[in-house]
C-alpha cells in the first residue's frame, strides 16, 4: 500500500491482484502503527472503511464500474464533516461533536470508491501555519520529526508524506494546503474558489475557504479533484462550470507555455529556498517554457488585507459556538451570559481567541471603513494584478514559502512571524484562483521545498499540465 498510486490500486483491483478489503485492512494496520510518530491522525474509522471496501469489491465482482478512486485509502482533515464520525476541528469546543451528515466532498469521494481511513489533525478551526495550534497536540513532519508539517492542513499533508494514506483532503484559506505540501514534500492543490463545494466544511472565512487534495504525484491530485469538483445545489457559491477530464492530457509536455515570475515574490526569497526555486525555473526553461518577470504591485499589502478579511469573517462564523446548540457547554455558569463567556473561554485556544478579537475589532463601529472596507479594496487590487499578469502569461510560478519547515516551537510565540510564512500563498487565496505546490527539491538538511504554480480562474487543467511536465523532468 505504501508504494501504490490511485491508478496502481485501480489496476490491481481490476486484475484481481488484491481486494479492496485486503488493501484497507493493511492500510489501517499500517496507519495505526505509524501514527504515534507524527500524530497526523486524530481518529480512525475502521468500520466505515471496511464497509466501503466491501462495496467496492462487490461492484468489481458484479462487473460494475467501481469508481475512479476504487479502494484508495483517503484521509480527511478534521474540519470536513463526516456523518457519524467525530469532527473536532482540532478544538476542545467540538471534542465530542458527531455530525449528522457528510460534506459533499466526502460523499463524492466515497461514491467514487474512496475509502475513508480517518480524520487528520489540524490547527484549531484551520487557524495556523504550523499545526501547533491543535488542541490535541502538534503534528510532526515525516521529513524531520523535530519540524512542523505546515498548517493548517498539516495532518493531511503528513499522512500522505508518511504514506499512511494514498491521498488526503485538506482545506485552504490562505495557503493551508500549499504550505504543508511544500514542507512535507508532497503535491497539494487549492482549486478555484467555487470549483469544489464547501457544504460540510466548517467555516473559517467563507469567502476564502476551499477544499483541496494532497497526493504524492500530480496525476493523483488531478483525479481526486475531478471526483470532488462540480456544482452543488447545497452550496450557493459553488460554480456551475463543466469539470474536464484533468488527467486526459497529462503527457509531460509543457513546451510553449509562457510563465511569469513575480519580482515582488522573489525579493523575499533567500538562501536555499531561492536557490531551489531558481533551479526549478531553469528546469522549466529546458522543458520549452518561456519564463519572464511580471510585476504584482499589491503583493506587499496582501498579508495585512488577508488577516483583516479572514479574521472578520472568522469572528462572524465562530459566533455559533456558544454552548447553546452543540459542542462544549461550560458546567460552571450561573447565567446565560456566563455560559457564553465560559464556554468560549474554555473551549477556544489562544490563536482562535486572538483572531476572533481582531476580527471583532475591525468590524466594530468606527473601524469598519478604516480597516475592513480598505482591506476589501486591496483584495480587488491583488485580483487585478493577477488579471493583468494572465493577459501575457499562461501561469505564474513562485515559491510557496520563504523558508522550509521550521522547528516545532520556533515561531509559536511570535504570531506576526508565523503570519508572514504565508506571504506567497495569500495572494492567490485573495484572488480565488487555482494554485498548487509541487516538490522542487530539498535543502542540504533534507527539508522539502515546493514550487507554487498559479493559473487563471478555472484553468486547473493548464496548471496540472505544467506541474506534470515539471514532475517528470
State which CATH number among 2.40.30.10, 3.90.1300.10, 3.30.110.30, 3.65.10.10 fits the domain covering 6-228: 3.90.1300.10
Task: Decide if 176 is catalytic.
Answer: yes
Annotated catalytic residue: which of 91, 152, 156, 401? Answer: 152
Other Cβ atoms closer than 10 A to 97: 17
Low-confidence winner among 108-122, 135-149, 319-333, 348-362 (lowest mean pLDDT): 319-333
pLDDT value of residue 333: 85
Binned at pLDDT 50, 70 and 90, residue 276 comes out as: very high
pLDDT at 366: 87
Residues 150, 141: Cα–Cα separation, whole Å: 8
Determine how many CB atoms are found less than 10 A away from the CB of residue 420: 17
The pLDDT of residue 392: 97
Give the pLDDT score at 268: 75
Average pLDDT over residues 90-111: 97
Confidence of residue 413 (pLDDT cuts 50, 70, 90): confident
CA–CA distance, 243 with 458 (Å, rounded to integer): 9
Taking CA atoms, 178 is separated from 27, 99, 149, in Å, by 25, 27, 11
Instruction: Convert the pLDDT of each residue in 28-46 to its tens digit.
Output: 999 999 999 999 999 999 9
Is the predicted pLDDT of residue 472 greater than 80, yes or no? yes
Q: Which range among 121-130, 357-366, 373-382, 414-423 shows the weakest confidence by mean pLDDT?
A: 414-423
Give me the pLDDT at residue 420, please: 79
Q: CA 142 to CA 158: how far, in whole Å? A: 6
Residue 406 has pLDDT above 90, yes or no: yes
- Known catalytic residue at 77: yes
Catalytic residue among 176, 197, 421, 429: 176
The predicted model scores a pTM of 0.96
Report, as an integer, the average pLDDT of 398-424. 89
Burial class (CB in 10 A: 0-12, 13-18, 19+), 353: middle
Grade residue 414 by pLDDT with cuts at 50, 70 and 90. Answer: confident
Catalytic residue among 19, 45, 77, 91: 77
Q: Around Cβ 373, how many Cβ atoms within 10 Å?
A: 12
**444 catalytic residue (yes or no):** no
* Phi, psi angles (nearest 5°) of residue 440: -130, 10
Q: What is the rounded distance in angstroms from the CA atom of residue 335 to the CA atom of residue 256?
A: 68
* Mean pLDDT estimate for the chain: 96
When pLDDT is averaged across residues 362-377 and rounded to a whole number, the result is: 93
Residues 207/313, Cβ–Cβ less than 8 Å: yes
Amino acid at each position: 500500500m505504501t508504494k501504490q498510486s490511485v491508478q496502481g490500486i485501480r489496476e490491481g483491483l481490476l486484475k484481481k491482484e488484491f481486494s479492496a478489503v485486503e488493501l484497507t485492512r493493511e492500510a489501517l494496520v499500517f496507519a495505526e502503527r505509524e501514527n504515534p510518530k507524527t500524530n497526523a491522525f486524530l481518529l480512525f474509522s475502521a468500520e466505515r472503511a471496511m464497509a466501503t471496501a466491501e462495496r467496492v469489491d462487490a461492484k468489481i465482482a458484479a462487473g460494475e464500474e467501481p469508481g475512479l478512486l476504487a479502494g484508495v485509502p483517503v484521509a480527511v482533515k478534521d474540519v470536513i464533516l463526516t456523518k457519524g464520525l467525530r469532527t473536532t476541528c482540532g478544538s476542545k469546543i467540538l471534542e465530542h461533536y458527531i455530525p449528522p451528515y457528510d460534506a459533499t466532498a466526502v460523499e463524492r469521494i466515497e461514491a467514487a470508491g474512496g475509502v475513508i481511513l480517518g480524520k487528520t489533525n489540524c490547527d484549531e478551526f484551520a487557524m495556523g501555519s504550523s499545526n501547533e495550534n491543535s488542541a490535541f497536540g502538534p503534528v510532526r513532519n515525516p521529513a524531520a520529526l523535530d519540524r512542523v508539517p505546515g498548517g493548517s492542513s498539516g495532518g493531511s499533508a503528513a499522512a500522505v508524506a508518511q504514506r499512511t494514506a494514498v491521498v488526503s483532503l485538506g482545506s485552504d484559506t490562505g495557503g493551508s494546503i500549499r504550505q504543508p505540501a511544500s514542507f512535507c514534500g508532497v503535491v497539494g492543490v487549492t482549486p478555484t474558489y467555487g470549483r469544489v463545494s464547501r457544504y460540510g466544511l466548517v467555516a473559517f472565512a467563507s469567502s476564502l475557504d476551499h477544499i483541496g487534495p494532497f497526493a504524492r504525484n500530480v496525476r493523483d491530485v488531478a483525479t481526486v479533484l475531478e471526483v470532488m469538483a462540480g456544482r452543488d445545489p447545497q452550496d450557493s457559491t459553488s460554480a456551475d462550470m463543466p469539470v474536464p477530464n484533468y488527467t486526459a492530457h497529462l503527457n509531460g509536455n509543457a513546451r510553449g507555455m509562457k510563465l511569469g515570475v513575480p519580482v515582488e515574490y522573489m525579493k523575499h526569497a533567500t538562501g536555499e529556498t531561492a536557490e531551489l526555486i531558481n533551479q526549478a525555473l531553469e528546469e522549466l526553461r529546458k522543458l520549452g517554457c518561456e519564463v519572464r518577470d511580471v510585476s504584482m504591485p499589491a503583493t506587499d499589502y496582501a498579508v495585512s488585507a488577508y488577516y483583516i478579511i479572514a479574521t472578520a469573517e472568522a469572528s462572524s462564523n465562530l459566533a455559533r459556538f456558544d454552548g447553546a446548540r452543540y459542542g462544549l457547554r461550560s458546567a460552571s455558569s450561573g447565567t446565560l451570559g456566563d455560559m457564553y463567556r465560559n464556554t468560549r473561554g474554555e473551549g477556544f485556544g489562544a490563536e482562535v481567541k486572538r483572531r476572533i478579537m481582531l476580527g471583532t475589532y475591525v468590524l466594530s463601529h468606527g473601524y469598519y471603513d478604516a480597516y475592513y472596507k480598505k482591506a476589501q479594496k486591496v483584495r480587488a487590487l491583488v485580483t487585478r494584478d493577477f488579471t493583468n499578469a494572465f493577459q501575457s502569461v499562461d501561469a505564474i510560478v513562485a515559491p510557496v514559502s520563504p523558508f522550509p519547515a521550521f522547528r516545532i516551537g520556533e515561531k509559536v510565540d511570535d504570531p506576526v512571524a508565523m503570519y508572514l510564512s504565508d506571504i506567497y500563498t495569500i495572494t492567490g487565496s485573495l484572488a480565488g484562483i487555482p494554485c498548487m505546490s509541487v516538490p522542487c527539491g530539498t535543502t542540504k538538511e533534507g527539508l522539502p521545498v515546493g514550487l507554487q504554480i498559479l493559473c487563471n480562474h478555472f484553468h486547473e487543467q493548464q496548471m496540472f499540465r505544467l506541474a506534470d511536465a515539471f514532475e517528470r523532468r
